Chain A
Amino acid sequence: MDLSYVRRRWTNRAMAVLTFLCTVVVLAPLFFILFFLARTGLSALNLDFFTHLPGPAGEPGGGMANAIVGTLVLVGLAALLGVPVGVLGGMFLAEFPGSRLGHAVRLFADVMNGMPSIVMGLFAYTLLVLPLRHFSALAGGVALGVMLIPTVMRTTEEIVRLVPQSLREASLALGIPQWKTLLWIVLPAAAAGIVTGVMVGLARIAGETAPLLFTAFGNRFWNWDLLQPIAALPLQIFAYAISPFDDWHRQAWAGALVLVAIVLAINVAARYFAGRQARLR
């Protein structure tokens, strides 16, 4: 048999094994984390965890109800800020690709995407916490919302660009002005894809801890005032994990499990919408 043929076959096999090993290396930590979380976290999960406030230091029992709700409030606030700005900005980038402003905005969005998240926290701290003189849910929401903007903006841009030009022309040729064409023809055609982008962005910020450290700050009690500090799952996990109490350690695991479940749920929803966008085209 030809020598080069034999060599090619062995190279092929070696590469196949190598790529398989790489996949395992990538996936192994994920499964380790999930396994560990489930094993340690599940034992501390009970109804109290979802319905009770944290107990006094060192005493077993209590839950993270306020932190779970707090995280949802913070993510909601972030969406209120990040989604409109991101979606409209993304549409601008897609519809006016040549504009000088567009180039600048795109560059800044990419820079912001790579910005360390604690810097976002500093930004919200300077913008809201210093002038208002106390930590607040609002400041946390703004920090997360600003992080959300570039993700939503760039995905919106990509999706809106995929809307066929023929659709815009069909609308413009009917004598529909450009802004109405964008809002009522292009946007609905891109909606499922944009929702996917928003979901992925939300899943990402839901687990952020650093930007909340000196904005939302955390709270051991219920708080419905957006200008007061609010609890958040990542902050609570952090606080419990570095505490000296075994019961709090277990609760931190449970909190991490709940957080991962929330992020996973958002991602699954995102995949559902992504599928719908694909069918539309």
Chain B
Amino acid sequence: MPAALIDHAAGIETQDLHAWFDRLHVLRGITLRAAPRRVTAIIGPSGCGKSTFLRCLNRMHELVLGSRSSGRVLLDSQDIYAPAVDPVLIRRRVGMVFQKPNPFPTMSIYDNVAAGLRLAGERDRRRLDETVERSLRAAALWDEVKDRLAKSGTSLSGGQQQRLCIARALAVSPEVLLMDEPASALDPSATLKIEELARELAAQITIVIVTHNMQEAARVSDFTGFFLSGEMVEYGATDQIFTRPRDRRTEDYITGRFG
């Protein structure tokens, strides 16, 4: 078990969420509720809008030039797209891990993890030390790096770098962690570690994970949503989706008939 992170109970849900890139309509009315302290997986073929969906949940989608969205995203029943809401504060509550590990190349391991807090104004050295250790332990990386915290973050292996990115995201104690195909650039053993980690973290925070690997979804998630061409075809408990899909298209996809 990871050392105690701040225990959050916030779930995140979308209501009739649409998203566009210029005129390309990539999400067509998604209504989905990711339950608190559970892992929700989004599966679907390339280009089905699953990454865009994830990026709408922490207002990263709007950073792309020409992008647009409509509908509601409720974090702990507060609409994060309400006019008075500052996206910067939302991103502190909804963390994100990307497809390719992206540690800050100019920073040490320690500084990578501390970056979020430091740039939010935390100066207390002791509190930073504590948070860095706690986050690295939570990301199951502490034992591997505790003797070389001053080394560059890019000196680590790919799998370690990805866990460093997870630790970095955890350090600002988010309520929700979004994972965008976090293991797709990693070898099988590193993949397994990330998956175990996602399971463990779900004891404390809400996780939404996007993957095109169905075995991965089956292994890590409690609930699964299947996306196709910007729509959610089916949503349910993971074992139901994988053993008794209700929709023909879901069945075709998970049995490998397309995608």
Contacts and interface: CB of A to CB of B under 8 A. Distances in A.
Interface of A: 98, 164, 166-167, 169-177, 180, 184-185, 188-189, 191, 280-281
Interface string B50-89: 0000000010100101000000000000000000000011
B168 A174 contact: yes
A166 B168 contact: no
Nearest to A167: B102
A176 B112 CA distance: 13
Nearest to B121: A180
Closest 6 CB pairs of A and B: A175-B92, A174-B116, A173-B96, A175-B91, A188-B106, A166-B102
7 contacts: A166-B100, A169-B102, A172-B91, A173-B91, A173-B96, A175-B90, A176-B119
A174 B98 contact: no
B89 to A, nearest CB: 7
A117 B66 CA distance: 41
Interface residues of B, number: 27
A176 B115 contact: yes
B102 A172 contact: no
Contact of A166 (B98, B106, B115): B98
Contacts of A98: 65
B253 interface: no
A260 B60 CA distance: 51
Contact of A280 (B89, B106, B165): B106
Given A169-B60, A185-B104, A188-B106, A176 B98 contact: no
A175 B88 contact: yes
Contacts of A164: 102
Contacts of B95: 173-174
Given A172-B91, A174-B91, A175-B92, A280 B120 contact: no
B47 interface: no
Nearest to B178: A173
A173 B58 contact: yes
A281 B88 CA distance: 28
Interface in B96-118: 96, 98, 100, 102-106, 115-116
B26 interface: no
Contact of A169 (B63, B106, B119): B63
B30 interface: no
A167 B168 contact: no
Contacts of A170: 98, 102-104, 165, 168
A188 B63 CA distance: 22
Contacts of A166: 98, 100, 102
Nearest to A173: B96
Contacts of B90: 175
A196 to B, nearest CB: 16
B65 A175 contact: no
B169 A173 contact: yes
A98 B22 CA distance: 15
Which of A98, A176, A189, A280 has the largest number of chain B CB atoms within 10 A? A176
A176 B95 CA distance: 11
A188 B106 CA distance: 7
A172 B172 contact: no
Contacts of B102: 164, 166-167, 169-170
A176 B165 contact: no
A177 B65 CA distance: 18
A169 B98 contact: yes
Given A169-B98, A169-B102, A184-B119, A177 B165 contact: no
Contacts of A184: 115, 119
A174 to B, nearest CB: 4
A171 B60 CA distance: 11
A150 B115 CA distance: 33
A281 B102 CA distance: 12
A175 B104 contact: no
Nearest to A164: B102
A167 B105 contact: yes
Which of A173, A180, A185 has the largest number of chain B CB atoms within 10 A? A173
Contacts of B96: 169, 173
A172 B168 contact: no
B167 to A, nearest CB: 12
Nearest to B117: A174
Contacts of A185: 104, 115
Given A173-B58, A175-B88, A175-B172, A189 B98 contact: no
A185 B116 CA distance: 11
Contacts of A172: 60, 63, 91
B67 to A, nearest CB: 13
A44 B168 CA distance: 62
A189 to B, nearest CB: 6
Given A172-B91, A174-B172, A180 B65 contact: no
Given A171-B104, A175-B172, 10 more contacts: A164-B102, A167-B102, A167-B104, A169-B102, A173-B60, A174-B95, A174-B172, A175-B90, A176-B119, A189-B105
